[in-house]
Amino acid sequence: MAVTIRMIAEKAGVSRGTVDRALNNRPGVNAEVAAHVRRIAKELNYEPNAVAKALAISKRKLRIDILLNSGQNPFFEKVRRGIQNGMREIRSYGITVETFELTGFSVEEQLQKIDELMQNPPNALVITPINDHRVIDRLNQIAAEDIAVVTLNMDVTGLAKLCFIGCDYVRSGQTAAELLGQITLGDISVGILTGSAHILGHQQRVNGFSQVCEQDYPRIHVRAVAETEDDNEIGYRVTKEMLENHSLDALYFCAGGIDGGIRAVKECGLEKKLKIITVDDTDNIKAYIESGIVNATVCQQPMKQGHDAVTITTDWLLHEKRPSRKHLYTQNEVKLRYNLD
Amino acid sequence: MAVTIRMIAEKAGVSRGTVDRALNNRPGVNAEVAAHVRRIAKELNYEPNAVAKALAISKRKLRIDILLNSGQNPFFEKVRRGIQNGMREIRSYGITVETFELTGFSVEEQLQKIDELMQNPPNALVITPINDHRVIDRLNQIAAEDIAVVTLNMDVTGLAKLCFIGCDYVRSGQTAAELLGQITLGDISVGILTGSAHILGHQQRVNGFSQVCEQDYPRIHVRAVAETEDDNEIGYRVTKEMLENHSLDALYFCAGGIDGGIRAVKECGLEKKLKIITVDDTDNIKAYIESGIVNATVCQQPMKQGHDAVTITTDWLLHEKRPSRKHLYTQNEVKLRYNLD
DNA sequence: CTGAAAGCGCTTACAG
DNA sequence: CTGAAAGCGCTTACAG
């Protein structure tokens, strides 16, 4: 038989309202009474009933805003689907979730959109923050106003966030290097196509990749690194340039613009010769894997990222439940032809 | 503003009790009244509030029994942890979850334990069923008594189950073969260490593996298949025999008894020479990967299996919500040194 | 500072 | 067959 506030109230000789106030540290309770109630709750091993709490709290009309720099990036389709799933799961909680999207990584645009959202402040803000001190400062202000801030897919340091939800980018790069090491023999020249040095995750993937090459596979030599700015046209151009100027055995695509890059590979007639490792599993990448152009891809559970962003934020708003860790890393999933789905 | 039964009741000119009875197909409502109520609910786009429903239903005292053939198998530790997580999540629903464990795969023992549990029948039974017609017949009887049956980690055909939760074993074997294909060149001789031909999943892994070898990598030749019966001593013995009788380049361990098998590999001094693919990521297997003895392992999200067994069964008991598919396959996760955790 | 009462949206004995 | 009322376990205006 589970312990309820009614039992605590009886044992403490106070009303249920007072128990509620004491246990939830609400103001206006005599300190001694509160202490007494808390002691009894502890003795009885009281665990609040989350369902009842959620039902009662549904009167509060809480709101979560989600701001994604998703742009044209097909990767974010799955994040969006995860968000939808999460919303369906919390439908009965009376919490409103609104999603806003930006294209590109302009600091000004992100700041402006944040200000716009703050005209009508939500109870929590989930965001893919740009790694810039102005953004970080602004978000810290928001966090100070008792609005929970959750970073999704992209992280920044020095922010008083509830948590980060996304992949461990260093590990992602390391895993890609290890894969390449296992599927090759002898001296190998590799080129890296990253997104932007200004995006922390991209940088971390490059670093993780390079580090494992040096440390575990010194026969693998990183000959060139170029930036696609997550754009297919630029991706095409820089990949083409790279392939024309270097004799490479392998490519590591660790950001957006992969479709452009693959087009360049095909144009150079190198799709049979090159070993290629990518990130994520958009429909196009799945097709490349099925046709053997790409050997493997390292994914990051985008649906889970979207889903967890909603449910973890909800758990915080309803139950003040902090996630188990500050950084909730999703699995770096290695996908090949036969475990694609 | 979400639609509630109160609104439907007002619009239909009946009481909330009657609305509840009509919408939930409970007996004792005039057919015309019921139809009217349902039409209005549909018009208003009514979605029941799951939280309120759960709170009200918590009076029912529902129970889920879980019967695992977990034996000594360290793999099941994670399944158990997943079950614990699921239980924590549904704590407020007033549903009791009890777990029972068997060692080995004796049909008689499983049948006997089932009978024992049915002395005090639960509302749902989650089970790792042995693939035997007597077990299947018994479980079908149980399902006919309005007890939801969920198969976990092991599946059988011809059972009126709510769903199966576990991996796609064929894909698991295919993925292992593809991995081996990618990390090798030229003619390769491989030996397979499986558990038992009587366990459907083991058989499916062998089949998936062999099929991809033949179809995609004809240079890979399966030279020997032996059964460990999921036991380390037998695993040691049959692996040793296999290595003494065949000149192999690679091994595929697709069931329990891996620790024994690896001991044999080491004793033969072949840990540097052989490419080895395993399944699952017990602590020992992680250690083999870190030390380079095992190249990669194909895992099946054991925590998720345990967790989902609890939450999906709960969703059925509380909301009659059927899972989206009859077979809920977990990801076949390829793990290497740098994406192990 | 505290209690009594109403409320969140369902379900369910009970009386008629 | 139907309705009024109590209940699930919390939260919260309101009155004192």
- Spatial neighbors of B169 by CB under 8 A, at least 6 apart, are B200, B201, B202, B204, B205, B208
* Residue B77 vs residues B97, B281, B302, B307: alpha-carbon distances, Å: 17, 11, 9, 12
For position B61, what pLDDT does the model report?
A: 87
- The percent of residues in chain B predicted with pLDDT above 70, rounded, is 100
pLDDT top residue among B28 and B304? B304
User: Which residues in A lie closer than 8 A to residue B337 (C-beta atoms)?
Assistant: 178
Q: Output the six-digit token pair for A318.
A: 């309803």
Please give the CATH number for the structural domain made up of A61-166+302-330.
Answer: 3.40.50.2300
B58-167+302-330 to CATH, choices 1.25.40.10, 3.40.50.12280, 3.40.50.300, 3.40.50.2300: 3.40.50.2300
Position B21 pLDDT exceeds 90:
yes
Position B28 pLDDT exceeds 90:
no
* Tens of pLDDT, residues A124-171: 999 999 999 999 999 999 999 999 999 999 999 999 999 999 999 999
- Spatial neighbors of B49 by CB under 8 A, at least 6 apart, are A55, A92, B2, B4
Confidence of residue B324 (pLDDT cuts 50, 70, 90): very high
Looking at residue A78, its amino acid is: K
* Residues carrying CATH 3.40.50.2300, chain B: 58-167+302-330, 169-299
User: What is the Cα–Cα distance from A6 to A17, expressed in whole angstroms?
Assistant: 9
Position A302 pLDDT exceeds 80:
yes
Minimum CA–CA partner of A94 in chain B = B2
User: What is the Cα–Cα distance from A322 to A316, expressed in whole angstroms?
Assistant: 6
Q: How much is the average pLDDT of B322-333?
A: 97
For position B197, what pLDDT does the model report?
A: 86
Which nucleotides on chain D have any atom < 7 A from a protein Cβ? Answer: 1-13
Confidence of residue B75 (pLDDT cuts 50, 70, 90): very high
| Range with the poorest average pLDDT among A304-313, A330-339, B97-106 | B97-106
Position A1 pLDDT exceeds 80:
no
Q: Which residue has the tokens 């090459």?
A: A213
Pick the closest to residue A288 from A233, A339, A337, A338 (CA basis): A337
Note whether A51 contacts B92, CB cutoff 8 Å: yes
Pick the closest to residue A69 from A2, A158, A129 (CA basis): A129
* Tens of pLDDT, residues A236-282: 999 999 999 999 999 999 999 999 999 999 999 999 999 999 999 99
* Tens of pLDDT, residues B251-265: 999 999 999 999 999
Q: Is residue B179 less than 8 Å (CB to CB) from chain A?
A: yes
Protein residue minimizing CA–C1' distance to C9: B52
Note whether B178 contacts A338, CB cutoff 8 Å: yes
Give the DSSP H/E element, type plus range, for residue B71: none
Confidence of residue B198 (pLDDT cuts 50, 70, 90): confident
User: What is the Cα–Cα distance from B183 to B179, expressed in whole angstroms?
Assistant: 6
Question: Burial code of A228-265, b = ≥16 C-beta within 10 A, e = fewer?
Answer: bbbbbebbbbbbbebbeeeebbbbbbbbbbbbbbbbbb
Q: What angle do CA A143, A145, A146 make, to 5 degrees?
A: 70
Contact predicate A11/A44, CB 8 Å: yes
- Spatial neighbors of B30 by CB under 8 A, at least 6 apart, are none
Q: Output the six-digit token pair for A53.
A: 């709490």
* Tens of pLDDT, residues B109-124: 999 999 999 999 999 9
Confidence of residue B68 (pLDDT cuts 50, 70, 90): very high
- Averaged confidence pLDDT in chain B: 95
CATH architecture of the domain B169-299 equals 3-Layer(aba) Sandwich (3.40)
Q: How much is the average pLDDT of B46-54?
A: 96
Give the DSSP H/E element, type plus range, for residue B110: helix B107-118
For position A324, what pLDDT does the model report?
A: 94
Note whether B51 contacts A49, CB cutoff 8 Å: no
* Residues carrying CATH 3.40.50.2300, chain A: 61-166+302-330, 169-299
What kind of fold does domain B5-48 have according to CATH?
434 Repressor (Amino-terminal Domain) (1.10.260)
Protein residue minimizing CA–C1' distance to D3: B15
Which residues in range 45-84 of chain B are in contact with strand C, contact meaning CB within 7 A of any of its atoms?
A: 46, 48-49, 52-53, 55-57, 59-60
Minimum CA–CA partner of A331 in chain B = B339
For position A71, what pLDDT does the model report?
A: 79
Minimum CA–CA partner of B209 in chain A = A338
* Tens of pLDDT, residues A305-334: 999 999 999 999 999 999 999 999 999 999
Confidence of residue A290 (pLDDT cuts 50, 70, 90): very high
* Residues carrying CATH 1.10.260.40, chain A: 5-48
CB contacts < 8 A, A to B, total 91
Position B48 pLDDT exceeds 90:
yes
